[in-house]
Chain A
Amino acid sequence: MGEVIVVTSGKGGVGKTTTSANIGCGLAVSGKKVALVDADIGLRNLDVVMGLENRIVYDLVDVVEGKCKLKQALIKDKRYAGLYLLPAAQTRDKDAVSPEQMKKLCENLKEEEFDYIIIDCPAGIEQGFKNAIAGADRALVVTTPEVSAVRDADRIIGLLEANELNDPSLILNRVRTDMVEKNEMMSMDDVTEILAVDIIGVVPDDESIVIQTNKGEPAVTVESSKAGQAFRNITRRIMGEEVPFMDLKEDDSFFTKLKKLFKK
C-alpha cells in the first residue's frame, strides 16, 4: 500500500518544490515507484525543476474533472524508471479542485501501485494547502533557519495537527554551517527546540542546488553535492532506515582548528 507524503512549509521560497523533486528522484533511484504531484495549481513549478515542462498535455485539474484518465496525465520521467509527475494546471486557480477530489485522486494513485506519492504543497494556508494535505498520510515540513520561516512552520504544524496529520517531520533547508558555528544562524538544535518536532534532515545551502535546478535535474543524483547527499539521507530515512546526521562542517584544516582554539 502506498504512502502519501505532503511537502509543505507555509512560507514560500524555502525549498518545497526542490525538496519534493529531490526526494521523489531519490526514492525512484532506490527502486521505488513514485508519483510526484504538483498541487500548486496556477503557479506550477515542479515540472520545470524536473525538466519535464515540455511534455505536459493533461494536468491534475483535467484528471479531477474527468477530461482524461489518470494514466494519460502522468508524465514518465526521462531519467528514472518508476518516477512519474502529475503536473498542476497553469491556467486555473486553486478553487478548481476540492479537498474531497484530492483525497479521491490520492486513493486512485495508490491503486496504481505507487510506493510513494509526494505532494508538493503551495505556499500559504488557504485552499491550496487544504487540498494538498487532504489525502496525505504523512507530512514533511520544510523550513529555513530564519525567524519568518520558522514562525510559519510552527503555524503549519499546528494546522497539520488540527487536520489529524500528527508528528510531521522537519527538514531544515539552506543551513550555512559557517554561520551556525559563529552563532549567527540558528542551528538544527535551536529550531527543533522551538518547534518541538522530529527532524528528518538538514540540508546545507549549496550552489549545486541552483546549478542542478537550472539544468532541470535534481541534485540528489549528483554524487559530489553536499545537498544531494543530505537529500539521499532524507530519502533513506523516509524509507525507514536509521541514518546518522552528516557532518556539515566545511573543512577541518589546521588553520580553522587553530582559529577555533583562539576563539575559545
Chain B
Amino acid sequence: MITFVTDKDRNEQNEEEPVGVTQTGTPVGKIVEKAEKAAAEEAEKAKEKETAEETKESKETKETEGNDEKADKKTDKDDAAEETEGSEKTDNTDKTKDKIEKMLFSINEHMALFHKGNLRNGFTLEYDGSIILLGDVNPGAEIKATGNILILGALKGVAHAGCNGEIGAFVFALNLIPVQLRIANIITRFPDGDSKEGRKPEYAYVEDGKIYVSPFE
C-alpha cells in the first residue's frame, strides 16, 4: 500500500523536506519482515481469498485485522515523521469495502457524468457530481468533480475529487499514476521514486487528513 503524506501548506512543503509527499508505506513484500504479525495475517487472508467462502471464523479474523489495521496506521503516521518505512495496512477487508460503498453512495449518488475519450494536455473536465471517464487523463490534463472520480484508464494528470470540500470523495483509476492528486483541500503528489509500471487498479481516499492509496480488488 502506498501512503501519501499530505501537504496543506505549500510553502512549508517547499521548504526543507525534499518532497512534500513522503512514501511511508511500501509494497507488501518488504514490510512483512518488519511486522511478523501482519505477515501471518496476510497469509491467512490469502487463504481466505482462495477459498472464497466466508465462514464465520474468517469474519472474526477480519474483524481483528480491522483493529490491527488501525494500530498499524498509527505507527504508520509516527514513522512518517521520521521518514521510515511504515508498516503494512491490510486491504480488502470488509471495513474498506463498506467504506467504498459508503463513499459511492454518499456523494451525489444521482449525479454522475459519463465521459468517453482521452483527456489530453491542457483540457479540464469539470462536473458538479461524480465523473466516470472511459479513457486516460494525460499529463497536463485535469479532471475535477465535486463528487467521486472513476477513471477506466490511466490517470497521469491531475485529479481533484470532492473539489467543493467533500472529504469523503475518492479517486479510482485502473492505473493510478497522477502528477498530483487532490481530494477536498488536501494535495499530494506521486512519490518520486515509485515505479509507474505494472500497477494494478487502485483507489485513493482520505483518512485522518491524509490521502491513502490502496489496491482495489
CA of A72 to CA of B19, assembled, Å: 17
B11 touches A71 (CB 8 A): yes
A residues contacting the other copy or chain, number (CB 8 A): 15
B64 / chain A contacts, CB cutoff of 8 Å: none
CB of A90 within 8 Å of the partner chain:
yes
Within 8 A of B (CB), among A27-60: 42-44, 53-57
- Does A155 sit within 8 A of B, measured CB to CB? no
Nearest Cβ on chain B to A52's Cβ, whole angstroms: 9
A76 CB–B CB distance under 8 Å = yes
Say whether A76 contacts B15, CB under 8 Å: yes
Q: Tell me which residues from 115 to 135 in chain B have a Cβ below 8 Å from any Cβ of chain A.
A: 121-124
A205 to B15, CA, bound (A): 35
B14: which A residues are within 8 A, CB to CB?
55, 75-76
Most chain B beta carbons < 10 A, residue from A54, A55, A76, A91: A54
Asked if A78 is at the interface (CB within 8 A of a chain B CB), the reply is yes
Asked if B13 and A55 make an inter-chain contact with CB atoms under 8 angstroms apart, the answer reads yes
- CB proximity of B65 to chain A, nearest CB, Å: 33
Interface range on chain B (Cβ under 8 Å from partner): 20 to 34
Q: In the bound complex, do residue B142 and residue A54 qualify as a contact, i.e. CB atoms below 8 Å apart?
A: no
B202 CB to nearest A CB, Å: 17
The reply to whether A55 and B124 form a contact with Cβ atoms under 8 Å apart is no
B45 within 8 A of A: no
Q: Which chain B residues lie closer than 8 Å to A42 at the CB level?
A: 122
Q: Does B176 contact A (CB under 8 A)?
A: no
**Residues of chain A with a CB closer than 8 A to B142's CB:** 90-91
When chains A and B are docked, how far (Å) is the Cα of A202 from the Cα of B205? 51
Please, how many angstroms separate the alpha-carbon atoms of A175 and B51 in the complex?
A: 67
Q: Which residues of B contact A56 (CB under 8 A)?
A: 180
A18 to B124 Cα, complex, angstroms = 27
Task: Find out whether the CB atom of A55 lies under 8 angstroms from the CB atom of B18.
Answer: no
Q: In the complex, which residues of chain A have a beta carbon less than 8 angstroms from the beta carbon of B20? A: 55
A53 to B124, CA, bound (A): 17
Q: Which 6 A-B pairs have the closest CB atoms?
A: A76-B14, A54-B189, A91-B124, A54-B179, A90-B140, A90-B122
Known: A42-B122, A75-B14, A78-B19. 9 other contacts (CB 8 A): A43-B122, A53-B179, A54-B179, A55-B180, A55-B189, A56-B180, A57-B180, A90-B122, A91-B124
A-B contact pairs, 23 of them (CB 8 A): A42-B122, A43-B122, A53-B139, A54-B180, A54-B189, A54-B190, A55-B13, A55-B189, A56-B180, A57-B180, A57-B187, A71-B11, A72-B10, A72-B11, A75-B10, A75-B14, A76-B11, A76-B15, A78-B19, A90-B121, A90-B122, A90-B140, A90-B142
